Amino acid sequence: MSQPSQVPTTRRAAVDPKECSITGTLAAIGDRWSVLVLRELFYGVRRFNDIQHDLGISRSVLTDRLARLVEIGVARTEPYQEPGDRVRQQYRLTRKGVRLLPVLVGLMEWGDEFLSNGDPPVVLEERDSGEQVRLELRSTSGALVAPHQIVTRARRRRVD
């Protein structure tokens, strides 16, 4: 009788949830409204009333979420003034905020595939070519990386 083949497995060290980058990111922007406000900012919606109208969000919740996004440095305020009106603030993503775009695109692609039956409500296109934009995993050399090719390695923490 033959023995079942043993596939060698390696187990990485557990990551303390308090030190996990994913946990930290979710704590910073993880609620539904914050993610949707970020989506609107990525879509180019800048003004409070426009964001509120598009999302159907209450003024108090939107005020809270925008203040939090500004506080953590992913959005910034910028004054604007319509003729005859008082000066108001509009919101723009910072570089730190733009770095969240792959996170939102990943969430969108997952929802398009598994929740929208392949009929997404929005398609992302490159402005000049009109080609569809999609998220890919690449190594620092630019090679395409499949999920099964990724391994995790614990990094030594510096002691200050």
pLDDT over threshold 70, residue 1? no
Q: What is residue 16's predicted lDDT score, i.e. its pLDDT?
A: 77
Domain locations along the chain? 17-149
CATH class of the region 17-149: mainly alpha
What's the confidence (pLDDT) of residue 74? 97
Q: Is the pLDDT of residue 2 over 60?
A: no
pLDDT tens digits for range 72-128: 999 999 999 999 999 999 999 999 999 999 999 999 999 999 999 878 999 999 999
Euclidean distance between CA atoms 105 and 146, whole angstroms: 17
90 contacts 77 by C-beta, under 8 angstroms: yes
pTM of the model as a whole:
0.82
